[in-house]
Structure 1
Amino acid sequence: MILITGAAGTIGRELVKELRAARIPVRAMTRNPAKARAALGEELELVRGDFTDSRSLASALPNVRALFLLTAAGPWVADHDAAMLRAVKGTSVQKIVKMSAFGAGTAPLASSRWHEPGERGVMESGLAWTVLRPAGFASNAQAWVPAIRAGDAIELATGDGRHAVVDPRDVAAVAARALATDTHDGSIYELTGPEPLTAAEQIATLGRALGRSIATRDVTPEMAADRMREAGTPAAFADAVREGYAYVRAGNAASQSDAVERILGRAPRSFEVWVRDHLPLLR
């Protein structure tokens, strides 16, 4: 039995598909099982779990052999990771695969600092472990859809900085391999797409797929963070996004990894492939 936390999210949904296709028993943990049921399927075992409720974590763990640990991004990541690491002590769990973030352990970013305590905790747990550090997701392009539909210019805060965004399906496929085999125990993987792209190049790819021109407007990372705060985004999260934009804009996020290809035996999917496969969401 494999327990997937964050099962209703972008990676969690794809990981459920991967494991079920391989006929591996899966239990999906989410804060609202009733709400997640439609997205995850009627046959799947769903349990309620909240990282701030230790009893709910304990009730999700019986007979679990491997755990996929994904906590929603934010200043609370370290606390949530620690809560689950406390919960697994003395249980049947033998392995943890932790979803971390691009640059964790190396980049001077808030998102890195959020994940570093959890990474250390997993590595020091005495259990088998794998840490995944994915680049930005290709699916983040969905955030541009409202502006595209409204005909507004999309504000881009990363300038000419490049980032090799990764398809969530590839991240899930790697996670499934790490959970189901011991081949990747004790490994840390940076997961990227096949080529570093600027945000403007991603927009151009979207425009070609949609058959229309999409206007863009350059803004600074500070301007983008101010917009987020004005829209009600918590300051700590807006500041982290500002740091991330500035990091990409400065050319620090253009690195590329061959981990997806080495693990899956094929090239990672391109951003163009993700767009083509998800056109109904983008129109």
Structure 2
Amino acid sequence: MIVITAPTGNIGHQVLDKVLAGDQPVRVIVRDPAKLSTDVRDRVEVIQGSHGDPRVVIRAFDGADAVFWLLPTDRRAASADEAYVGFTRPAAEAMRAHGVKRVVDVSALGRDTPYAGRAGHVTASLAMDDLIADTGVAFRALAAPTFMDNVLRQVRVIKEQGMYFDVISPDLRLPTVATRDIATVAARLLLDATWTGRDEVPVLGPEDLSGNDMAAVISEVLGTPVKYQQMPGHALRDRLIGSGASEGMTQAMLDMATAKENGLDKGIARTPQHAIDTPTTFRQWCEDTLKPAVQAA
């Protein structure tokens, strides 16, 4: 039995679709089963509720061989530690109680860099990994950089203003990965019952790009000029607080950005295998995903 959390989210639904292509029984934890397609509901066992609820995970992990663990976004949590470690603690206890064999989660790059202990969301994510691994399960953390898919949050700004914003320096080249590639790696691990031990699996994507590089690619794909604009940290803070994020989660986001600026995502050298595992280029992602989204906006 494979258990999928967050099966209606951006990454989770892609993992679910790929796992359903295999021949193993699948159980999902979902707050609102109506968000699952009828076809999917007919092929999975549904546990309704939050995977942060002890009563839900103790039911969901009964008889589970493998679990895909993915956190929901809780911008109102008091701190990143509460959002990651606090949310995951009941699940870790349920994993131990039921003897879950294997767990795959989506985490972050940076563990072996000097910035890992002061990187906000990343620091909390690494602590979450440790909590899960300490249960004794075989564990793989998919250590990811920034998602290409995050650009979709700015579709209307790109279309209406010809701008793309972030707090990272415009010429700093960093890895970026498509969530569809993360889902492919996750599904392969979930369907493979042979691996053991604990490890990180860097999902780096095939290239490093700066904000200016990405804006140039977006411009070429859309056929209209798009400019990258670095925004100051205080502007990001105001935007996050204004949209309902807590002070703690806002500071965690700023700390993560500072750590990325200083080299958090540069601790792993890309190898040919990384490009094989996560092959989607930013240009291809823009053609397949961003361009249709902008046209539909």
Q: Under a length normalisation based on structure 2, what TM-score does the superposition of the two structures give?
A: 0.84
What residue number does 1:142 align with? Answer: 152
Contact kept? 2:177, 2:278, Cα under 8 Å: no
Q: How does 1:12-51 map to 2 (within 5 A)?
A: 12-34=12-34, 36-38=35-37, 41-45=40-44, 46-51=46-51
Q: Aligned in 2, Cα 1:14/1:261: closer, same or farther, shift over 3 Å?
A: farther
Cα distance in 2 for partners of 1:42, 1:260 equals: 38
State the alpha-carbon separation in 2 of the partners of residues 92 and 248 from structure 1.
Answer: 36
- One-letter identity of the residue aligned with 2:214: Q
- Tell me how far apart the structure 2 counterparts of residues 253 and 81 of structure 1 sit (CA, whole Å): 24
Extract unaligned runs of 5+ from structure 1.
Answer: none
Tell me the CA shift for residue 153 of structure 1: 3.2
Larger relative contact order, structure 1 or 2 (CA cutoff 8 Å, min sep 6): 2
1:273 and 2:272 matched: no
Aligned residue for 1:224? 236
Measured in 2, the distance between the counterparts of 1:145 and 1:152 equals: 10
Residue 260 of structure 1 deviates from its aligned partner by 8.4
Task: Give the deviation of 1:71 after TM superposition.
Answer: 1.3
Shift of 1:252: 4.4
Q: Is the 8 Å Cα contact of residues 8 and 40 (structure 1) preserved in structure 2? A: no
d(CA) in 2 for partners of 1:242, 1:124: 29
Is the CA contact 2:138–2:196 (under 8 Å) kept in the aligned structure 1?
no
Give the secondary-structure state (helix, strand or coil) at the position aligned to 2:292.
Answer: helix
SS of residue in 1 equivalent to 2:202: strand
Q: How does 1:54-133 map to 2 (within 5 A)?
A: 54-73=54-73, 75=80, 76-91=83-98, 93-104=100-111, 106=113, 107=116, 108-133=118-143
Worse overlay, 69-78 or 138-147: 69-78
What is the aligned-residue RMSD (CA, Å)? Answer: 2.5
Provide TM-score, normalisation by structure 1: 0.88
**Pair 1:173 & 2:184 matched:** yes
**Gapped regions of structure 2 (runs ≥ 5):** 75-79
Q: For 1:175, give the aligned amino acid.
A: A
> Per-residue deviation at 1:248?
3.1
Distance 2:272 2:91 in 1: 27
Deviations 1:3-48 (A, max 9, x none): 01121112111111211123332222222222x2149834342322
- Aligned residue type for 1:141: V
* 2:252 equivalent to 1:240: yes
